[in-house]
Chain A
Amino acid sequence: MNFFELFGLEADYSIDLTSLATTYQALQKTVHPDRFAHSSSQEQMLAVQKSAQINDAYDTLKNPIKRGEYLLQHLGAELPNEQASFQDIEFLMVQMELREMLAQIKFANDIDAALMSAQESLDIQARQLWLEFEQQLAAKSDAANQQAGETLRKLKFYHKLYIELERIEDALFDD
């Protein structure tokens, strides 16, 4: 049973996260150790395994990038090697600039404005990539799925930028 089936969903990218959380809790209840207090040790073990699988599925499905990768694999796309380095120069130049922009925030005269404008730049670019991803998925072809995998790789850089922005924000308002 794949993760989508486990949660009673169609294998589709867009899902309702609120109902995903509700289903998650309902599923975990069915395998709660209390329910198996008087069961055989084998049944108890199966319940524990099932619970772990439900956790895995939930972690994957609720995360946009992981869900995208899982879906692409489910559709038979071969994802680029996680360890392989990325050499799209133009994209990396932009990444360098964005990193420099984040590093400059703490020197800005108006820090709040600098944080906001950084957030906005990231949002605009990440949104554009998600749009491309959805269009690539909608094309429903192997070649487009391959491209969708590349788009997800790019989005991972943005994920990192958001973490970095959050770290900078925390550091600025800590002292």
Chain B
Amino acid sequence: MAYSEKVIDHYENPRNVGSFDKNDPKIATGMVGAPACGDVMKLQLKIDEQGIIEDAKFKTYGCGSAIASSSLVTEWVKGKSIDEAAEIKNTAIAEELALPPVKIHCSILAEDAIKAAIDDYRAKNKE
């Protein structure tokens, strides 16, 4: 199966790889895994007082599509409010990267990672 040019670009030059300190209250961490393929994805968002995502980093162990999906998401969420980020749909990710049907679950994983990170942020900042 051939990867699209965009997937290869993100795979070879992944954007925003790395980690933030997960104990920092401004940092939201989302961890998700896909049992079907054993992929593990960590997405971290740095969120300012206004609820705007200042920065994002990811670490993904998985196939090229999973790495590309998470790399793309880190670019997309920057500058968005958490509510806007929560609106990002896997279908948009899959479309942007031209993922074939068997790789759609990689985009679902990336969408779930955003949601998990936002849940983490809301749990941290409940009061």
Among candidates B33, B105, B108, residue contacting A92 with C-beta atoms closer than 8 Å? B33
| A–B pairs, 21, beta carbons within 8 Å | A80-B35, A82-B35, A85-B34, A85-B109, A86-B34, A87-B31, A87-B112, A87-B116, A93-B31, A95-B61, A96-B40, A96-B42, A96-B59, A96-B61, A99-B40, A153-B35, A156-B36, A157-B35, A157-B38, A159-B38, A163-B38
Contact, CB under 8 Å: B33 / A82: no
Contact, CB under 8 Å: A86 / B38: no
Q: A92-B33, A160-B38 are in contact. List 16 more A-B contacts (CB 8 A).
A: A82-B36, A83-B34, A85-B34, A85-B108, A85-B109, A87-B31, A87-B33, A92-B31, A92-B32, A92-B42, A96-B31, A96-B42, A96-B59, A99-B40, A99-B61, A157-B40
Q: CB-CB < 8 A to B32: which residues of A?
A: 85-87, 92
A67 to chain B, nearest CB (A): 16
Asked if A126 is at the interface (CB within 8 A of a chain B CB), the reply is: no
Q: CB-CB < 8 A to A160: which residues of B?
A: 37-39
Contact, CB under 8 Å: B38 / A85: no
**A85, A87, A88, A163 pick with most chain B CB within 10 angstroms:** A85
Q: CB-CB < 8 A to A157: which residues of B?
A: 33, 35, 38, 40
Contact, CB under 8 Å: B33 / A86: yes
Using CB atoms and an 8 Å cutoff, list the residues of chain A in contact with chain B.
Answer: 80, 82-83, 85-89, 91-93, 95-96, 99, 153-154, 156-157, 159-161, 163
B17 to chain A, nearest CB (A): 12
Q: CB-CB < 8 A to A91: which residues of B?
A: 33
B31 to chain A, nearest CB (A): 4
Q: CB-CB < 8 A to B40: which residues of A?
A: 92, 95-96, 99, 157
Within 8 A of A (CB), among B8-52: 31-40, 42
Q: In the assembly, what is the distance between CA of A160 and CA of B42, in Å?
A: 17
Q: In the assembly, what is the distance between CA of A89 and CA of B105, in Å?
A: 19
The list of the 10 closest CB pairs from A to B, nearest first, reads: A160-B38, A153-B35, A86-B33, A99-B61, A92-B31, A85-B112, A156-B35, A85-B32, A95-B40, A82-B36
